[in-house]
Copies of this chain bind each other. A is one copy, B any other.
Amino acid sequence: MKVSQIGEFGLIKKLAYQSAQNIKKNTPSYRQLVTGIGDDAAVWNPTVPFQLATVDSLVENIHFTLKTITWEELGWKSLAVNLSDIAAMGGIPLYALISLGLPPETKVESITRLYAGMNKIARKFGVMLVGGDTVSSPFIFISVMVIGSAANKDGKTLSRSSAKPGDKVAVTGTIGASAGGLKMLLENLKFSRKDATTLRKAHLTPHPRVKEGLILVKNGVKCGMDISDGLVGDLTHICEMSRVGAKINIATVPLSPSLKTCFGEKALEMAISGGEDYELLFTAPQAVIEQAQKRMKCQVTIIGEITAVNSGKVLLMDHHGKKQNLKQTGWDHFNRQ
C-alpha cells in the first residue's frame, strides 16, 4: 500500500502505534513524559533543570541514497546523528520529534521499516518518539529534533567555546571508518566481509557516544563536540568559538584499522577530512583527560594541543613537528555540490 492510499492520518496512527509498542517504562524519558504523540505539542516535566534541543535533516540523494542504505538503517542514522549532538553536549537524550517529507507513492511498508530503525536506536538509548508531522514532498527528507537534559542539576555541559591554550586535544574511538564506508558504497568497492561490515556500519548505523559524553562532563571536561563535518573542520569550529589555535600530530590520529587495511596510503587523508564519524572530539588539561579515560570502555587518544597563537586555525604536523597540508578539511553542504 502507498502512503497516498492510507493518508496522512492513517500513517500517523500506524506509526504512533508502532512506536508505543517500543516504549521502555523504566527510563527517565517515560517518567517525565506528560503528553506524547497525538496532541498539538509534546509535554514533559523535566527533573534536571537544564534542557537541550537540537535538529538535523537528512535529504534523499544529498545525505543518503536508497541504493546503498536500507530503510531500517536510514531510520537508525537519522536519529543517531541527533543523539550524537546531545552526546556532544554531555547530555542525556530524552525525546525525538520527527518531521517526515514523503513522495505520495512511497510504500507504507518502507515507512514502517524506517520507524523500526528509529525505534531500535530510540529504545537502546531510552529515547521516546513523542511527536512530529508527515508531509507530502517530491523527495524524501527526514528532519529530526531531539530534546535532552544536562547530566546533573548543576547544568554542566560540553561546549565548543571553552578550549584553553595548553589543553590537549583528544578523540574517542577511531576515525575514518565512516568516510571509508561512504567511498566503498559509492564506488562499489569490494573488501573482506569483516572490513566491509565495519565500514558499512560506521557510515550507515553510527553509534552515538552518549555514555562517553556523560563521563567527560562528570570528570571535568568542559570543551567538546562530535565529529560530523570531519576532524579538521570540527576542530576549526572549536578554535573559532574558543578564539584559540590547535596543532594536531597527524601520526597520532587513531585511524580505523579497517580503513587502513582497505585504503592504505589514502587512509590518513580520508580520516582527517572525512565526516560523520560521530566520535567525540574534546579538549582538557592532560590530567583531566587521563582521569576520564580510566572510566571509559572505549579508546581515548590525545592527538594534539590547543595553542594561544593561530587563533581560529588548525595546523597539521608530522611526528617531526613539520607542517603538513591536506587537501580537504571538512564537509560543507553547499560547497561540495
Contact = CB atoms under 8 A, between A and B. Distances in A.
Interface residues of A, number: 76
A215 interface: no
A171 interface: no
A321 to B, nearest CB: 29
Nearest to A137: B59
Given A8-B333, A38-B160, A337-B136, A143 B55 contact: yes
A335 B5 CA distance: 7
Nearest to A226: B40
A136 B333 contact: yes
B44 A332 contact: no
Given A41-B86, A85-B40, A334 B3 contact: yes
Interface in A155-187: 155, 157-161
Given A35-B157, A43-B157, 14 more contacts: A4-B337, A39-B159, A40-B158, A41-B53, A41-B85, A42-B54, A43-B51, A53-B97, A55-B133, A57-B143, A59-B138, A62-B136, A97-B145, A137-B141
Contacts of A137: 59, 62, 139, 141
Interface of A: 3-4, 6-9, 11, 34-35, 38-46, 49-59, 61-63, 85-86, 88-89, 91, 95, 97-99, 101-102, 104, 130-139, 141, 143, 145-148, 150, 155, 157-161, 225-226, 241, 332-337
Contact of A53 (B7, B11, B53): B53
A89 B41 contact: yes
A8 B55 contact: no
